[in-house]
Every structure is written in C-alpha cells, then in structure tokens.
Structure 1
C-alpha cells in the first residue's frame, strides 16, 4: 500500500497450508512490524487483495489458529468477519468481534494484538493520507495523529453506508476496464472510503465550524475555488485541494458554495467534469475509439449507468446519442 494511486488496482491471490508461509504472507501484506504465530490445522490460508495504492481491500479465509502481535501500523485497518470471530486488544481495550460486526483493529500509532480461529473476513486498509484529505480543517496545518474514540460503529445507518461503500469499491475494481484504471475514479473511491470510515467510527478527526469559516465564505472565496476547479478538473483533486487554492478552509469553501450557489464544491466539480465529458463525446469521430464508458471513467464516473442518468438529466439526451450524432 502506498500513499497515492500509481496505476490500475492490482489483484493478488495467495493460498497456503504452511504456517511459516502464512506468517510470511501476513508480514508482506500488513507490514514487517506484524509478527504472527500460527497453529497448523492442515487447512489453508487464502488471501485475496485488491491493491489500489492508497487503499486495499482484502478477502481472507483463515483455517488456522492465528496470534498476531503488531507494532504501530501507520495506517487504518478495519475488519468485518463473515464467519468465525476474532479477539483484539489495543489501547487498553479488549473486544471480541463476530460475524456481521465491524471493528477498527488498532489505533494507527499504537501497538496491538489479535487472535482468531477459522475465520472468513473482509479487511480494509486506508493510508492516513486519505483521512487527511477528507478531514483536514486547515489546508496548511496537518491533522493531529488519528485516534478513534470507539473501535465500533456509532450508528447502524453509518455502518450500513460503510459496508455499501466497500462493496461499491470492490465492484468497480473487480469490473476492470476503464473505471478501474482511472486515477479520478480511484482517487474518489479512496476518499469515499475514508469519509465513510470517519462517519461510522468516532475519532478526533471531526471537523467543526469556526467563526472564521463563515467570515471567509464570501464571493472571493467562491471565485477562486471555481477558477481552480475549472482549471484542474482533469486531475485528482479533493476538497482540501480546492480550499488550499482558495486560500481558506474546507468548511469555508463548503459554506460559500452552499450559500451562493446552493450546491457543494464536489457537486460543482462533478458538473464541470460532466461538461468536459460531453465536449469529448461531441468531438469524437467515427473510428477514433471513443466510447461512453471510457469517457465517463476518464472524467471520474465509475458507473456508466449513473453517468448516463446524470447526463440525461443535465442535457436531455443520453451520452450515446451525443457520441453518434
């Protein structure tokens, strides 16, 4: 896992019934700080990973008794068992997590331990840069070290949205093709996963309104933000980037767009990208290889059906008609 996206997501698959080899797989997948002791059962470990750079989604079946002692990982690790259960200990908290539940395993900057037996589980790994991109209150001041107040979700609806977001990210990567290879799609997926995680698990990364935010939500802020969006819409940008270009905070930018345009900065960014996709489809010539799906993905729209629905609502025709007119 790296702090940025440097190409299409990569799927790796591994299976072994050798405890020593299983330990090596874990150290490779989760960092050399992880030390694993395995009790052989004669049944395999299966580890499938989608690696998208700044985030990974793992599908694991562990028919072994495992004991893991981990030094600080330096990233966010979440686990959702489908079968079996695991115990985890970190920051003075001991918990048992079973099927249908979700938990943050460790504080990113603290050591921890876990143990499991005969477990099927989905794990999500998030680089801390993604948390920074969605939670930083001041573009010029990094977040304090991330600490979760609770290792469990705070509300059932937030947990449901987290699961839906993980499934959506998996489906985009598994579908392959243009969406899975698009830097704009992958960057958006990473920030979406980070935002869903912060919404589900209480932490010290909550962004609060400050008096200066409302004072900065003026026409000049909006003008600078719009200029930046329209000049860089083809690159992987987020709210913090827009705020930095506008010379203010993310919250001030959000307030400026809401009060003066009745929308959000990211919704405005999507509309600009939709216009650019329309221009690309309009300029296409027969035989040049342009397709609706590839164009949609290039401008950050992972699902061609949702893209078509947005396009129809905006322009009164489907993107295929624009392409073939």
Structure 2
C-alpha cells in the first residue's frame, strides 16, 4: 500500500508539493497569514485517497488535473471557478466533482479540511462499456454535483468504504479486493453524477440477451475467476454489449455478471478453506481477502448462507 504525508508551514514548499503530486499550479494567500498544510495519501489500486487540512485561505490557478477528482468537505469551504465562467462553493457535508479532468481550474480553499478521491477517467469508460469494442467514445461527466440527495449519500458511503478498505493492511494488499472496490466506485460515480454513459439496454441489446451469451460469459468467468476483470471484459468475451450481458444474466440466471463472479470466488474460497490448514498460517481473513472479500463479517455471512456453516469450522475441520 503506497502512502505519503506532507506537513509544512511554507507556502513555497506547499506549492512545490502540489505541483509534484497533483498538477502544475500557482498558489497564493493573504500577506501575514500563517500557513499550515497537512496532506496524507493512501492508495487503493489506482485510486488515491487524500486527506487535506489547510489552515489558511489558499488561492490556486491550476492546469488540467487529468483525473476524476471527487471532493468532500469536512470544514471550511472550497470556492471553485469553472472554465465556463461559473463558480460553486463546496460547504461542509457536501461533495462533488471538484474539476473536470481535462480543463484548467482555479479558486480558493477557505481554511478547509477536506478529502479528495482521484482516479483515471478511463475507469468510467471501462465500467460503462456500451459495446465490446475498445475504441469507445470516452465517458464524460456532464455535471459536478450528484443528481439527488440520495445519490450524494450513496456516493459518500462508497467513498467511506474505499477509505476503510485502504486502511486495512490485509484488504488493501489483496488485488481482487482493490479491483472490485475500484469498479464499484466507478459504477457508483456513473449512477450518482450526470454523465454521457447510456446504461439502459437498446433493442439490439435485448436481441443479444440469449442463452448463448450467458454460456460464453460463464465459460469466461470460470477461466478468469482469479483475475481482475470487469463487466466490459466479460461482455467483450461474449461478443455483446455490457447492457446485453447484464440483461441476459437477469433474464436467464436472475443475477448479474459480477454477482455470479462473486459466487465463483466464494466457491474458490470454500475450496481453499477445505484444503488448507491453520497450522500452515492460513486464516479465514487471509483466504477471504485473496478471493476479493474485504469484510470478514460479510464474508462469513455469505459463506454461511451458501454452505450452511461458519468458514472457520471448514478451515479447522
């Protein structure tokens, strides 16, 4: 798990750090005001999770960030000036897209403590995956606020979950947990912020949602169960769009492709619990994490529902 920490009372050092770890920018503050900057970062796969505390009003003028940057304000406020000439204020308890990834931005951080979550915009396209071809039109976010209060609450909960996983040394080092969490984050962003993604099935998708699609998808899932795969990968292997794939699984198996993959991974964890021994250093938590299950309690509940016994009894048998 990569991490970094920066603490400084120098405006010049703060600017140098921001240029090195975010994008090129110029910053400034009122003369005579004490500067104190505290920034920490944890990584979960390709997603950076930053906590920032600026004890001064920092003006900034920055080049495009090149990443989706979600911002949650705990105290103070952030005044963001957008390229179209509009200005918005992020107040305590609010969250949204701080800046479009491909446009310059400016504003003022008003003595704020806040969190930002950043990732490559290509993740949105990978999750949306309107067709199996790889030369898709990139998905773009078309607004910087969640579409509703319920959507904002859901996005905030998912961001909190991401931070919880990143803080867990076992879960954060498990590749399948990181990949699953990242896909879940990208899917949540698509459903909570306005975007160009088209998530409803078309007439062509409905025609493609036949049993052969499910058969090809299941074969691919079984062959790649231990790998970092997304709905887009499964759809490409099945020669249909992601929407057709989702519809086929709902229609013929009454589930989703990722839920089916989770079931296969639960079976893999069961087989290891059955075959491994705690005498060799194996634990329920380590085996669950290796198969992409970040939360031991939820894993135990899912395992008990599938196999009728707690996982630790299987490992100890």
* Residue of 132, 144, 151 corresponding to 1:139: 132
Structure 1 pair 143–115 and aligned structure 2 pair: CA distance change class (3 A): farther
**Distance of 1:237 and 1:37 partners within structure 2:** 44
- Which residue is equivalent to 2:209? 217
- Which residue is equivalent to 1:6? none
Structure 1 pair 82–143 and aligned structure 2 pair: CA distance change class (3 A): farther
| Cα shift readout 1:108-154 (whole Å, capped 9, x = no counterpart) | 11221121221100111121132122112012144434433321111
Q: Displacement of 1:70 after TM fit?
A: 2.0
| Cα shift readout 1:185-240 (whole Å, capped 9, x = no counterpart) | 00111111112222221111232321111111111111010000011010111100
Task: State whether structure 2 residue 37 is matched by structure 1 residue 45.
Answer: yes
Comparing 146-155 with 16-25, greater Cα deviation is found at 146-155
Note the 1:1-325 alignment, pairs <5 A: 9-31=1-23, 33-39=24-30, 41-92=33-84, 93-177=86-170, 179-325=171-317
Structure 1 pair 90–134 and aligned structure 2 pair: CA distance change class (3 A): same
Contact 2:176 2:290 in 1 (8 A): yes
| Cα shift readout 1:72-103 (whole Å, capped 9, x = no counterpart) | 22211121111111111123121111111112
Comparing 128-137 with 217-226, greater Cα deviation is found at 128-137
**Distance of 1:81 and 1:293 partners within structure 2:** 33
SS of match in other structure, 2:143: coil
Structure 1 pair 196–286 and aligned structure 2 pair: CA distance change class (3 A): closer
Q: Displacement of 1:272 after TM fit?
A: 0.3
Contact 2:284 2:312 in 1 (8 A): yes
Question: Considering only aligned residues, what root-mean-square deviation do their CA atoms show, in Å?
Answer: 1.5
**Distance of 2:221 and 2:254 partners within structure 1:** 17
- Which residue is equivalent to 1:3? none
**Distance of 1:107 and 1:205 partners within structure 2:** 16
**Distance of 1:109 and 1:243 partners within structure 2:** 28
**Distance of 1:207 and 1:49 partners within structure 2:** 33
Q: When the two structures are aligned, how many residues end up with a matched partner? A: 315
Q: Which runs of 5+ in 1 are unaligned?
A: 1-8
The runs of at least 4 consecutive aligned structure 1 residues that moved more than 4 Å come to none
Structure 1 pair 143–54 and aligned structure 2 pair: CA distance change class (3 A): farther
Q: Which runs of 5+ in 2 are unaligned?
A: none
**Distance of 1:266 and 1:321 partners within structure 2:** 27
SS of match in other structure, 1:314: helix
- Which residue is equivalent to 1:5? none
TM-score by structure 2 length? 0.95
Structure 1 pair 145–132 and aligned structure 2 pair: CA distance change class (3 A): closer
Comparing 38-47 with 290-299, greater Cα deviation is found at 38-47
